[in-house]
């Protein structure tokens, strides 16, 4: 079974690091995209809680700006500022 660690690592590698490499300062991650890309089934609450966690912000060195959409849905959008320091 998957874990929050797997989700954090995946998102850091595929979203956050990619944004840093391309000097992108702000990104939006859609929970449903992560769910599909990781080939999960019925794991949306875990993805949303992981993306909304302070632990994810600290590990990824990002600052959450907003969460919009349903609380545990595919269309939940997490917006972050990418910190470069």
Count the alpha carbons within 13 Å of 60 in the hemisphere toward its beta carbon.
30
Task: Tell me the pLDDT of the chain (85 aa) as tens digits.
Answer: 469 999 999 999 999 999 999 999 999 999 999 999 999 999 999 999 999 999 999 999 999 999 999 989 999 999 999 998 7
In terms of C-beta density within 10 A (0-12 exposed, 13-18 middle, 19 or more buried), how is residue 7 classed? buried
- Write out the two tokens for 1: 């079974």
| Domain range for 12 | 4-82
The number of distinct structural domains making up the chain is 1
């Amino acid at each position: 079974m998957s874990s929050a660690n797997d989700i954090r690592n995946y998102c850091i590698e595929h979203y956050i690091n990619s944004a840093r490499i391309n000097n992108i300062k702000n990104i939006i991650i859609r929970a449903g995209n992560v769910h599909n890309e990781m080939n999960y089934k019925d794991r949306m609450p875990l993805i949303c809680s992981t993306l909304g966690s302070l632990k994810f912000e600290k590990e990824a060195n990002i600052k959450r700006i907003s969460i919009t959409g349903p609380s545990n849905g595919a269309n939940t959008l997490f917006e972050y500022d990418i910190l470069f320091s």
